[in-house]
Copies of this chain bind each other. A is one copy, B any other.
Amino acid sequence: MEVALVAVAGRWATLVLREPMHGPASYGELWARLPEISSKVPAERLQVLGERELVARQRLPGFPVRTTYRLTPAGQALRPLLVELYRTGARPAGVQR
């Protein structure tokens, strides 16, 4: 459980994971979907997600530099967990805010 939690429990981690879930996403796209946040935060998240090989980075040639992020198979394996997190949090008679 700890193992799964460290992957998913950091601040904004779920949102950072959700973008590349349905296909490659650039850093800017990712960032734009996060509400008013410093650029450091997704960078940090992506770094640890990269180290754990949950997301893969790919730099595109040219200028300005572009990078796309995609989920590795291990990253895709987190999907059911994210779904369950959503279901549990959204459950009507469920967990209190």
Interface of A toward B, CB cutoff 8 Å: 1-5, 7-9, 14, 52-54, 73-74, 77-78, 80-82, 84-91, 93-97
Contacts and interface: CB of A to CB of B under 8 A. Distances in A.
A7 to B, nearest CB: 5
Interface of A, helix, strand, loop or mixed by DSSP: helix
A5 to B, nearest CB: 6
A68 B93 CA distance: 24
Nearest to A80: B84
Given A52-B95, A52-B96, A1 B82 contact: yes
Contacts of A3: 88-90, 94-95, 97
Given A85-B4, A86-B1, A93 B80 contact: no
